[in-house]
Amino acid sequence: MDQDEQRDLQAQMSTVYNDDPENFINRMDVEFYQLFIKLCKDMMTLKNG
């Protein structure tokens, strides 16, 4: 995941948090989500390559 993607993701996460404090996403969830996205991309790369 490059820096732009990470920035976008953090922006999305903070938007979710700011729009709806009830729907709180903690740091662990963010980190898990980033790992999950990376894993999906790796899988796609393996499948296509």
Residue 33's pLDDT band, with cuts at 50, 70 and 90, is: confident
Q: Where are the domains of the chain?
A: 3-48
For residue 44, pLDDT beyond 80:
yes
State the DSSP code for 23. Answer: S
Neighbours of 22 (CB within 10 A): 5
3-state secondary structure of 21: coil
Which pLDDT tens digit goes with each residue over 1-31? Answer: 688 888 887 777 666 555 555 555 566 677 8
d(CA 12, CA 16) in angstroms, rounded, equals 6
For the whole model, what pTM was predicted? 0.40
